[in-house]
């Protein structure tokens, strides 16, 4: 028997196969890259030499993460979506926008959490440039100066456009295939002893460490369909809570 084989009933996989997106989440990484801490969640090794995750574990971990997110968002927490991989960035961006959450999809600026004062200076600088662009002073600049200003704004927007409305460091970080963001979040909590100040939710493939995050969502973190399924599940959870809060606020105002 293969070292990954378990008594996981095959009917779980057959039921999950009805949903293509959920089925895509099951395919893991190459077995030679697996993390031993993921062994309890691995069903078997397939013919292509890749690990296959247990369907039931994927469902249970996702449900657990959604419950945690509900709890955090209800308490007023802000969730930062981070997806730096080029083929996943649009998926992550759209999921964040769908639930009115901040996002980073171009690159992770080192020190975003551990040196936030510098980061927010850059964000405020971007805001000042945008204000200048909208003012009458902009029309008085030479064409070259206008072009230079627009280039600066576009360069900064690529990195900070999704977090331009942040007033402080996020309460929750949700990195998708973004190891630098995950590492900094872990370092931030360890070195600054701020375990209660930031929560970590992440997608963990068979080569990852499920213990790094407060809630690890099991699944393939490279395939677009898999990431789309998992990220949108988180997005819809946040959207539901915020929509309910908004409706409650409207009812109180009208009454």
Question: Across all residues in the chain, what is the average pLDDT?
Answer: 86
For residues 163 and 119, what is the distance between their CA atoms, to the nearest angstrom? 10
For residues 41 and 37, what is the distance between their CA atoms, to the nearest angstrom? 9
For residues 71 and 199, what is the distance between their CA atoms, to the nearest angstrom? 12
Q: Are 101 and 177 within one domain?
A: yes
Residue 120 belongs to some domain of the structure: yes
Q: 181: closest CA among 80, 52, 60, 78? A: 80
Q: Are 148 and 202 within one domain?
A: no
Q: Are 129 and 191 within one domain?
A: no
Rounded mean pLDDT, 13-21 = 49
Q: Which of 168-172, 205-209, 232-236, 247-251 has the lowest average pLDDT?
A: 247-251
Domain residues for the domain of 220 are 10-113+169-254
Q: Are 65 and 54 within one domain?
A: yes
The CATH number for 177's domain is: 3.40.50.10490
Q: What is the pLDDT of residue 5?
A: 45
The CATH number for 146's domain is: 1.10.287
- For the stretch 136-148, pLDDT in tens is 999 999 999 999 9
The two tokens of residue 156 are 């900064």
- For the stretch 73-122, pLDDT in tens is 999 999 999 999 999 999 999 999 999 999 999 999 999 998 999 999 99
Q: Are 194 and 140 within one domain?
A: no
Paired with 203 in beta bridges are 217
Q: What is the pLDDT of residue 76?
A: 93
Report pTM: 0.85
Q: Are 179 and 236 within one domain?
A: yes
């Amino acid at each position: 028997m293969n070292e990954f084989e378990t008594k996981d009933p095959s009917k779980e996989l057959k039921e999950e196969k009805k949903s293509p997106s959920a089925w895509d989440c099951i395919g893991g990484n190459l077995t030679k890259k697996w993390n031993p801490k993921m062994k309890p969640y691995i069903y078997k090794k397939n013919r292509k030499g890749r690990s296959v995750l247990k369907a039931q574990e994927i469902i249970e971990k996702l449900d657990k993460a959604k419950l945690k997110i509900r709890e955090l968002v209800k308490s007023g927490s802000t969730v930062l979506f981070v997806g730096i991989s080029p083929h996943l960035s649009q998926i992550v961006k759209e999921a964040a926008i769908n639930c009115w959450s901040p996002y980073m999809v171009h690159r992770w600026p080192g020190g975003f959490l551990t040196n936030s004062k510098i980061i927010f200076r850059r964000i405020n600088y971007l805001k000042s440039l945008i204000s200048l662009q909208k003012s009458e002073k902009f029309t008085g600049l030479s064409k070259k100066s206008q072009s230079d200003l627009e280039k600066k704004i576009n360069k900064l927007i690529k990195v900070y456009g999704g977090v331009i409305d942040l007033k402080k460091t996020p309460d929750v970080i949700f990195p998708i295939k973004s190891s630098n963001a995950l590492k900094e979040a872990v370092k931030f909590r360890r070195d600054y002893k701020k375990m209660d100040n930031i929560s970590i939710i992440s997608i963990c493939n068979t080569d990852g460490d499920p213990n790094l995050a407060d809630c690890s969502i099991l699944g393939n973190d490279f395939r677009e369909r898999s990431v789309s399924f998992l990220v949108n599940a988180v997005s819809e959870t946040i959207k539901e809570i915020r929509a309910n809060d908004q409706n409650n606020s409207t009812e109180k105002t009208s009454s």
